[in-house]
Amino acid sequence: MIPIGDDTPRRRPTVVNWILIALNVIVWLYEALLSGPALNRFISTAALIPARITVSPDLPSVFTLLSAMFMHASWQHIIGNMLYLAIFGDNIEDHLGHVAYLLFYLAGGVIASLVQVAVDPSSEVPILGASGAIASVLGAYLVLFPRQRVKGIIVILGFIRITTLPALLVLGFWFILQLFNGAASVVTSASGGTAWFAHVGGFVYGLLIGLVTRRKQHDQPSPYFVPR
């Protein structure tokens, strides 16, 4: 299912989420202008390379834990990531507040990357993309808004259909898929170019933050959980 929207209301305007999307797009457009040695130098400098973190960590290599989450590998990569961020990130920002959401997002990206590094510490393959940070957004959304409806496109036997499903089902299936692919990558020693465990680590972090913040606000009336 390709999500295209949700029905979760917001109480305040979205600011940080759109800024994050804009920064990702700007960095990608810069990448798209580069080619050959210039592009390779940029990737080598700004993308996360696990072996640099584990073998000889220094300030520039540690900084790539942040810089790598604003880079992408292709148009399909950034469009897919920004679509998920646009749909689900605004509600997490609304729930946490602007500053807390920014810290949550950046921490999610760093934690997701560290999980991937822990799984494959000697890898010299560059890791880049916002997927780990966005996975943390999805994890928090699953906990906070499990019954909200997500609209998406499903392709069945060549037919395209638009349908709505509970967030619990959509995001729960997404997480199971990441776990399955991550386990398969360990067995076959091939990731297919995707840092699956970054997705898993980010999602679990988002789940925990969602649980903690939901408990803190459980006595407050919420416009989100409306009986259906």
Reported as a single tens digit per residue, the pLDDT across 125-173 is 999 999 999 999 999 999 999 999 999 998 887 788 899 999 999 999 9
Instruction: With H, G, I as helix, E, B as strand and everything else as coil, classify residue 5.
Output: strand
Using the structure block, give the residue that is written with the tokens 């890791």: 127
Query: How many C-beta neighbours within 10 Å does residue 227 have?
Result: 4
Burial class (CB in 10 A: 0-12, 13-18, 19+), 24: buried
Amino acid occupying residue 98:
H
Query: How many C-beta neighbours within 10 Å does residue 150 have?
Result: 24
Length of the chain: 228
pTM of this structure: 0.90
User: Phi and psi at residue 127, in whole multiples of 5°?
Assistant: -110, 130
Q: How far is CA 212 from CA 50, 209, 218, in A?
A: 30, 5, 10
Domains and CATH numbers, the chain: 2-216 (1.20.1540.10)
User: Where does the pLDDT of residue 186 fall: very low under 50, low under 70, confident under 90, or very high at 90 and above?
Assistant: confident
Query: How many C-beta neighbours within 10 Å does residue 101 have?
Result: 23
Query: How many C-beta neighbours within 10 Å does residue 30 have?
Result: 12
